[in-house]
Amino acid sequence: MKNPWVPAWWSAAFPGMGHIMLGSYVKGFILFTWEFVINVTEVVLIVECEDEIDEKIEEILWTNHALGVSRVYR
């Protein structure tokens, strides 16, 4: 590889791809798989918490409305 920046940028975009480009296939595959697992887990957690967050927001908004609290944001 003539330009060392190419694997560096690939690795920044997709962890593990820089290792794969440099020939460390096992290490690159492990890093790539680990990143994929972490991202899928984060998406699942966000989707699971979304309903709870919506309920809390609605509860807060109705409480503020019932108390006559209004806020002005800049």
Q: How far is CA 32 from CA 14, 40, 66, in A?
A: 7, 12, 50
The domain locations on the chain are 5-67
What pLDDT shows up at residue 26? 93
Per residue in 23-65, pLDDT tens? Answer: 889 999 998 888 888 887 777 777 777 767 777 777 766 665 5
The predicted model scores a pTM of 0.56
What pLDDT shows up at residue 10? 85
